[in-house]
Amino acid sequence: MSKAAKTIRKIAGKEPIAAAIVLGSGLSAIGDLLENRLAIPYSELRGFPGGGVSGHGRDLLIGTLGGKRVAVLTGREHYYEHGNAAAMRPALETMADLGAQTLLLTNSAGSVDERFRPGDLMLISDHINYAGMNPLIGEATDRRFVNMVGCYAPDLRAKAQGLAERLDIRLGEGVYLWYSGPSFETVAEIQMAIRLGANAVGMSTAPEVILGRFLGMKVWACSSITNMGAGLSAENISHEHTKTMAVQGADKLKRLIPALVEEL
Ligand code: HPA
C-alpha cells in the first residue's frame, strides 16, 4: 500500500472507496456535491499532483456521493507540465490501494465535430494517443502490455446514456484525441484530428485511462466541450475561455455523475 494510501486511511478511515473521480479544468465545483466531505491537500499526499494549473483544485476529497464512498481528485497533473506521462500514476495507484474499482474521468475539450457544441458533454468512446507518449514506458513487467479494447467500459457508457436520457442531458459519444499541449492546436492540426477520426481534442485523460486499465480499474470518461477546435469558429481560444465555458458542462456533470455512481 502506498504511503499516501496509509495517510488517507489514517485521516479518513479504512472503509474502502467505490470509485475515484478526477475533475478537469473548470470542473472542480463537482466536488461540492460530496456529503460528509473531508479535504486533504495534495501537498500532504506523497506522489499526488504538485505544481498546479489554474482552474484545477489541489485537494483530495473523500465523502459520499450517490450513496457510495468516493474519492475526488479536484485537479490533475498533465504531461505538459514537465513531460512525465506517468505523473498521475502514484495518485491512481493510491486510489486502487483504497479499493476503487471504477475510475471516472472528466476533462475540458475542444470539439472538432459540429455535433458537439460548447456547453455540450461528449462521452468518450475511445481515444487516439496522438501525443505518442505512454505512462507505462519504463514499467518493467509484462503487465505493461495492457489490452486497450473496450477501455472505456461499454456497460458504464450504456448506463450513462440511459441516465442522460432520463435527466434530459444530450450525451453524444465520440473519440478523444490527446495532443500534448500546452499550446493549443494549429488550424492544420485540428484538420488532421478530423481526418484521423477524432470528435474532440484535449491535453489530458488518455494517460490516466491507460493507467486505470493497467491497475485493473473500470474506466469511464466524459468531456465538457468548451470550444470548437482552432479554425472551426470565430471565437478566440484561451485557457480563460476554457474555464468560463466549463461551467455549463459542470452543471450537467453535477447531475450525471452522482446518478452514475449510484448505479455502480
Ligand atoms: N484543445 C486542446 N485542449 C482543450 C481545448 C482545445 O481546443 N479546449 C479545452 N481543452
Ligand 1 centre distance from Cα of residue 225 (Å): 8
> 125 near 176, Cβ under 8 Å?
no
CB distance 74 to ligand 1 below 6 Å: no
CATH at 113: 3.40.50.1580
Give the residue, by CA position, lying nearest to ligand 1 atom 7: 110
pLDDT in tens, 164-217: 999 999 999 999 999 999 999 999 999 999 999 999 999 999 999 999 999 999
Give the number of domains in the chain.
Answer: 1
**Three cell numbers written together for 109:** 475539450
Ligand 1 centre distance from Cα of residue 241 (Å): 10
Confidence of residue 247 (pLDDT cuts 50, 70, 90): confident
pLDDT value of residue 194: 98
pLDDT exceeds 80 at position 246: yes
This model's pTM is above 0.85: yes
Residue whose C-alpha is closest to residue 89's, from 104, 76, 107: 76
Question: Where are the extended beta strands (E) located within 197-264?
Answer: 200-202, 218-228
pLDDT in tens, 52-92: 677 778 999 999 999 999 999 999 999 999 999 999 999 99
pLDDT value of residue 245: 85
pLDDT value of residue 60: 97
Containing structural domain, residue 112: 3-263
Mean pLDDT of the chain: 95
CB distance 19 to ligand 1 below 6 Å: no
The CB-side HSE value for 248 (13 A sphere, CA atoms) comes to 17
